[in-house]
Amino acid sequence: MPRKILVTSALPYANGPLHFGHIIEAVQTDVWVRYQRMRGHDCLYVCAEDAHGTPIMIKAKAEGTTPEALIARVAAEHRADYEGFLIGHDHFHSTHTPETQYFTNLMYERLRDAGYMTRRSVRQAYDEQAAMFLPDRFVRGTCPRCKTADQYGDSCENCGATYTPADLVDPVSTVSGTRPVWRDSEHIFFALGRFEPMLREWLASGSLQPAVQAKLAEWFEAGLQDWDISRDAPYFGFEVPDAPGKYFYVWFDAPIGYLGSFKALAAKRGLDVDAYLKPDSTAEMYHFIGKDISYFHTLFWPAVLHGAGFRRPTAVFVHGFLTVNGAKMSKSRGSFITARRYLQRLPPEPLRYYFAAKLGPGVDDIDLSLEDFTARVNSDIVGKLVNIASRCAGFIERGGGRLAAQLPDPALYAEFSGAAERIGAAFEGRDYSGAIRDIMLLADKANQYVDQHKPWTLAKDPAKADEVRAVATQGINMFRALITYLAPVLPAMAAAAGRFLGAPVGRWDDVQSPLLGTALERYEPLAVRLDPKVVATLIEAPAEAPPAKPTGAAQATKVTKVAEAAGAAAPKAAAAGASPAAPERIRIDDFTKLDLRVAKVLAAAAVEGSDKLLQLTLDLGSERRNVFSGIRSAYRPEDLVGRFVVMIANLEPRKMRFGVSEGMVLCASARDDAGGIFLLSADAGVQPGMKVS
């Protein structure tokens, strides 16, 4: 009996491009959906543009356009990127639509009438010049705990402290640059705490992964707070029906956007919305999300649904974060890879395969290692999988173009067809990495089979033509089983394979009856190898020397990391094998010979008669030093005054043409300074003269 399933992945926000973090989630969802469809289930996949909120409003203003125009433009880009990665949404909508507004108002009114909405006054930062209340992220200032400058209004990136904008030292509005004032305003709150028993029961039903359950337990422990779902005008969103000048907070209507998108789809296809959304619905509803938004999806969302008389999600599937080459995606490291950047260089399926090969059912983070990506795809897909078809196709073609009437080794084929349930269960349970391990083991087995039976040797004896065809038929059928199992991951390749086989690859159960006696089409290569040189260009070399942007965590990096970051300027050169002579090892006492000190730049000036040098006057706490430094190409003297640098304080003074240099300032750079020169410095709070060790 086919299941009725509604699936969503998280809504991309309409103020930036899709990046690999979005793509891995879309791939995870899409693979699951395609698998369900291959099993004959009625599985719908909807998504939408998350269109509301202050950031959209401000970005539109900055671009001199309207939020609607901005959303339309970004949504079109997002849609194209999703399509580029073969993400098969049944419908891609927007939250700024009548459908979403309909559900938003309906839910609000029902929750209000049931007594779950309360009002009370809130004191909030207000920008008098821009005439608007400021979200926490739009107030910046100095962390009250560690004194790091220029931190967001809700938490410190450096020390991790959490606080409110009012706690900041020297708060500044990022909208106008002025100092905010504090004003009171009435807000609407959703009484989340009253749903605790329901939520506990819901989570006990086994809808969530163990790690997510643990997180929820922690939140229950801390106590569920009322949730402020309103914002003051000006705000881009839906106005609250019974509160003029108040708008629904973007996070209130974002998940409702799932239902809005579904409603639009239902209208298009004549589906019964109620059958999916009523409290006792037998349809299943799943949300694929990243772990950062599990609070909204595992607490607010089920509570809002339940309180408003709708069904709750069957389950929420939470995945971990994507890291690139072992570290968080970062713009400054160039590892912030957009969907567009990838698609301009490479086809989508290798990445779908690689993500699938690494995705498990848990919330663990997933690392994209570019070298591993290339090796894995070339070896698994081209070397193993496609090779089976490629090496067998010729024998069939030369032998008349038709498959044999029966399999020479039914027992071996049974191993392949018998894996269907095991591999299917892995897909169902989102253990794609397990499924792919299984599939590749079978691919090895298929290649071994061909090797053992040596059709190329048999083919030399015309009397053995039937035997040759039989072996190739066995091989082709094993290939067919494997590409069927991989079809959720590689839909385009599966379609191409279907054309070659003369029988579409579409249903999971097709594998149970081998393809016999039928004609094959001419074999065309189903995949090409990835060029490591092209793959390496996914990582962007940092463009120019960063214009003095030294704040917070970015600056707290260890010296080794800085060196690495600079090394990345020559993209992957080191990884490509150009290993520079490894430096000799030293002992700790060699290191302690260095007297590294933090110094403050008191004065800086270009040196007359030199293209490279700046003359620095440094405060070492107890003394001042005069140092010449070859950083003129990367720093303007006036930008340096007041900042902290690291210097070698016990370097032999050196007489130069322009004077005596009494030390050396530490910088990171590529060997030829090609990617720029980067001064090392210390976090806020450091004092001149402090020793570095």
Contacts to RNA by CB under 7 A: 154-155, 159-160, 162, 210-211, 214-215, 218-219, 222-225, 227, 291-292, 295, 320-321, 323, 326-328, 358, 360, 362-367, 369, 371-372, 375, 379-380, 382-384, 386-387, 390-392, 394-395, 433, 437, 440-441, 444, 447-448, 450-451, 454-457, 525-529
Shortest separation between residue 78's beta carbon and RNA, angstroms:
20
Shortest separation between residue 8's beta carbon and RNA, angstroms:
19
CB closer to RNA, 270 vs 326: 326
CA distance 311 to 19: 32
CA distance 89 to 676: 43
Quick check: 658 and 605 in contact, CB under 8 A? no
Shortest separation between residue 527's beta carbon and RNA, angstroms:
5
Question: Which uninterrupted H or E stretch holds 366?
Answer: strand 366-368
CB closer to RNA, 112 vs 445: 445
What DSSP assignment string belongs to 234-264?
Answer: S-SSPBPTTSTTEEE-HHHHHHHHHHHHHHH
CA distance 646 to 666: 6
CB closer to RNA, 252 vs 310: 252
Mark out the alpha helices in 39-166 (DSSP H runs): 54-62, 67-84, 98-113
Shortest separation between residue 380's beta carbon and RNA, angstroms:
6
Please name the amino acid found at residue 200: R
CA distance 209 to 363: 8
CB closer to RNA, 265 vs 303: 303
CB closer to RNA, 197 vs 326: 326
What's the DSSP call for residue 184? E
Nearest to 231 by CA among 5, 52, 25: 52
Instruction: Kindly give, in sequence order, each residue whose CB lies less than 8 Å from that of residue 451, ignoring residues fewer than 6 positions away.
Output: none
Cα separations in angstroms, 75 against 457, 622, 662: 57, 59, 57
CB closer to RNA, 336 vs 644: 336
Other Cβ atoms within 10 Å of 305 Cβ, number: 20
Structure tokens at 150: 């220029």
Shortest separation between residue 36's beta carbon and RNA, angstroms:
24
CB closer to RNA, 110 vs 291: 291
Structure tokens at 313: 């999600």
Cα separations in angstroms, 394 against 397, 469, 473, 499: 5, 10, 11, 16
Please name the amino acid found at residue 566: A
Structure tokens at 458: 């048999």
Shortest separation between residue 321's beta carbon and RNA, angstroms:
4
Cα separations in angstroms, 263 against 37, 92, 448: 21, 11, 51
CA distance 417 to 219: 46
What's the DSSP call for residue 643? -
Number of H helices, E strands in the chain: 25, 26
Shortest separation between residue 224's beta carbon and RNA, angstroms:
6
Shortest separation between residue 352's beta carbon and RNA, angstroms:
16
Shortest separation between residue 467's beta carbon and RNA, angstroms:
14
Shortest separation between residue 79's beta carbon and RNA, angstroms:
25
CA distance 669 to 664: 15
Shortest separation between residue 226's beta carbon and RNA, angstroms:
9
CA distance 123 to 137: 16
Shortest separation between residue 360's beta carbon and RNA, angstroms:
6
Cα separations in angstroms, 367 against 38, 329, 411: 29, 10, 38
CB closer to RNA, 102 vs 163: 163
CB closer to RNA, 221 vs 608: 221
CA distance 382 to 490: 13
Helix (H, G, I), strand (E, B) or coil at 327: strand
CB closer to RNA, 372 vs 639: 372
CA distance 200 to 154: 29
CA distance 255 to 303: 12
CB closer to RNA, 136 vs 540: 136
CB closer to RNA, 265 vs 316: 316
Shortest separation between residue 363's beta carbon and RNA, angstroms:
6
HEC per residue, 578-620? CCCCCCCCCCHHHHHCCCEEEEEEEEEEECCCCCCCEEEEEEC
CB closer to RNA, 274 vs 415: 415
CB closer to RNA, 382 vs 649: 382
Shortest separation between residue 516's beta carbon and RNA, angstroms:
21
